[in-house]
């Protein structure tokens, strides 16, 4: 029994799981995804049971590949897979030669190619978007059903149903394990970026769920974006840069958004020294490379807005005129009421709270959205209309789902009551 002092890098199992699932899906085909997921899980379990006793191997990834590959070969040899249409006959022939088994290793390039194929497979339009996200997290990012459920505060059975539907869609539509080429690529790339954005957005904006796991979602979104960016076959790069800029600039504020007790801290009151400077810098570089003067996408605009926030020394010194201009551009791409709500904050800074309130009247789809009423309440506070503010904030309080959100609103209501009494 030997004992090495090897330490594993953080998230090694999670990331190796994603890589292994990708390379094995290329062998078995997307219709055998569940089998592949089981093989990979078994390999990780073997490592978990073996390494504490026998030491962490010099090359942990190599160990996992070997074990997963042997298990996969056993399955193929035993004919335990019903449909072999996706398995390359040459590969099957090759694995019959025992001597070749040990030489068969996946190269870094093959792994990257397969991960890319996996991204496009998970984000295939035949899968609904909530199932796409669940599938990407399960297969590419190595999250368990329980972890996805914790991140989204959604019951595990619902997550499982989404995964089952996703795998069914892959089977019934015979989705190929391939990166689209030609004119199809930009369209499919857009769908992939949308899914990564949603993944990020769920992690970043959701006011519910486990904080730690949600930070992991943000990191995963970043990792998937970088995989796309680094791969020469994927173009155009500008929108990928824009998405990465948006993710990194926003994520830089993650640690400042809550205090040690988990209380929510709004942008205005955040300690800006807690913002991650390295991520801001990287985000700004991505923003520059996204060529925002030549391209207009919602990711470009959101990244620019975020860059104004990230580079402002104080909340008051934020370039609200610039932010308002970007929101005006945003409305030409997406004039949804949520965008109008976000725009109203910048508008209030530039033209005053009354102008902002005027644009919010009649946004009926936001009637049950707690932030709509919170923001409205804040505008009334600026205008010293305490009764109207209290009314809006009480509505927000009743709609907020989380205790921490309710507490934040309650504090503002108390403030209004105190003010109106004077």
Instruction: List residues near other proteins by CB under 8 A.
Output: 1, 3, 8, 11-14, 16-17, 41, 44-45, 47-53, 55-56, 142-144, 146-147
Cα gap 422→420, rounded to integer Å: 5
What minimum distance in Å lies between the beta carbon of 215 and other proteins? 13
Please state at what angle helix 184-205 crosses helix 108-122, rounded to 10 degrees: 80
- Is 197:299 a contact under the CB 8 Å cutoff? yes
Closer of 55 and 322 to other proteins (Cβ)? 55
Cα gap 287→204, rounded to integer Å: 19
- Is 140:21 a contact under the CB 8 Å cutoff? yes
Q: How far is CA 194 from the centre of its chain?
A: 10
Closer of 70 and 289 to other proteins (Cβ)? 70
Retrieve residue 112's tokens: 């990257």
Residue burial 177-189, b: 16+ Cβ < 10 Å; e: rest: bebbeeeebeebb
What minimum distance in Å lies between the beta carbon of 74 and other proteins? 13
Closer of 3 and 85 to other proteins (Cβ)? 3
List Cα–Cα distances, 249 to 168, 267, 276, 277, 307, in angstroms. 37, 13, 9, 9, 6
Q: Which of 246, 161, 164 is nearest to 199 (CA)?
A: 246
Identify any residues that bridge with 264 across adjacent strands, giving them in sequence order.
258
What minimum distance in Å lies between the beta carbon of 13 and other proteins? 4
Cα gap 243→87, rounded to integer Å: 35
Closer of 49 and 418 to other proteins (Cβ)? 49
Give all strands (DSSP E) within 39-176, no chain letters: none
- Is 268:293 a contact under the CB 8 Å cutoff? no
Retrieve residue 389's tokens: 């503010």
What minimum distance in Å lies between the beta carbon of 49 and other proteins? 5
The phi and psi torsions of 251 (rounded to 5 degrees) equal -65, -25
Cα gap 239→296, rounded to integer Å: 9
Closer of 160 and 297 to other proteins (Cβ)? 160
Closer of 32 and 340 to other proteins (Cβ)? 32
Closer of 14 and 66 to other proteins (Cβ)? 14
What minimum distance in Å lies between the beta carbon of 54 and other proteins? 8
What minimum distance in Å lies between the beta carbon of 8 and other proteins? 6
Closer of 221 and 287 to other proteins (Cβ)? 221
What minimum distance in Å lies between the beta carbon of 53 and other proteins? 5
Closer of 52 and 421 to other proteins (Cβ)? 52
What minimum distance in Å lies between the beta carbon of 220 and other proteins? 12
Q: How far apart are the first and last CA of the chain?
A: 77
Helix (H, G, I), strand (E, B) or coil at 345: helix
What minimum distance in Å lies between the beta carbon of 68 and other proteins? 12
């Amino acid at each position: 029994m030997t004992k090495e002092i090897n330490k594993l890098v953080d998230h090694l199992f999670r990331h190796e799981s994603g890589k292994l699932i990708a390379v094995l899906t290329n062998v078995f085909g997307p219709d055998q995804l569940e089998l592949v997921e089981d093989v990979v899980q078994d390999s990780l379990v073997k490592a978990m049971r073996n390494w504490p006793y026998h030491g962490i191997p010099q090359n942990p990834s190599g160990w996992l590949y070997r074990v997963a590959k042997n298990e996969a070969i056993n399955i193929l040899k035993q004919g335990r897979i019903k449909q072999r249409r996706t398995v390359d006959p040459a590969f099957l022939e090759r694995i019959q030669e025992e001597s070749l088994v040990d030489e068969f290793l996946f190269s870094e390039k093959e792994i990257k190619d397969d991960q890319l194929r996996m991204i496009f497979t998970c984000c295939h339009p035949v899968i609904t978007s909530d199932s796409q996200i669940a599938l990407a997290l399960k297969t590419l990012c190595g999250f368990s059903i329980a972890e996805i459920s914790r991140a989204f505060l959604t019951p595990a059975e619902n997550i499982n149903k989404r995964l089952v539907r996703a795998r069914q869609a892959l089977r019934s539509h015979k989705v190929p394990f391939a990166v689209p080429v030609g004119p199809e690529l930009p369209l499919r790339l857009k769908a992939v970026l949308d899914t990564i954005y949603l993944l990020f957005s769920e992690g970043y904006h959701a006011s519910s769920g486990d904080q730690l796991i949600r930070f992991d979602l943000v990191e995963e979104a970043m990792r998937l974006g970088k995989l796309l960016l680094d791969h020469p076959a994927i173009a155009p790069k500008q929108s990928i840069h824009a998405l990465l800029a948006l993710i990194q600039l926003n994520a830089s504020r993650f640690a400042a958004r809550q205090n040690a007790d988990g209380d929510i801290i709004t942008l205005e009151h955040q300690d800006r020294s807690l913002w991650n400077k390295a991520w801001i810098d990287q985000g700004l570089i991505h923003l520059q490379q996204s060529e925002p003067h030549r391209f207009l996408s919602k990711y470009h605009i959101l990244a620019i807005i975020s860059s104004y926030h990230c580079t402002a020394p104080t909340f008051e010194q934020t370039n609200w005129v610039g932010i308002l201009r970007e929101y005006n551009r945003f409305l030409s791409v997406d004039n949804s009421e949520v965008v109008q709500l976000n725009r109203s904050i910048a508008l209030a800074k530039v033209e005053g709270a009354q102008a902002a309130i005027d644009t919010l009247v009649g946004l009926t789809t936001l009637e049950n959205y707690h932030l709509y009423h919170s923001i409205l309440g804040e505008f009334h506070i600026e205008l010293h209309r305490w009764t109207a503010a209290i009314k809006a904030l009480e509505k927000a309080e009743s709609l907020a789902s989380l205790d921490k959100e309710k507490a934040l609103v309650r504090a503002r209501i108390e403030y209004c009551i105190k003010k109106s009494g004077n």
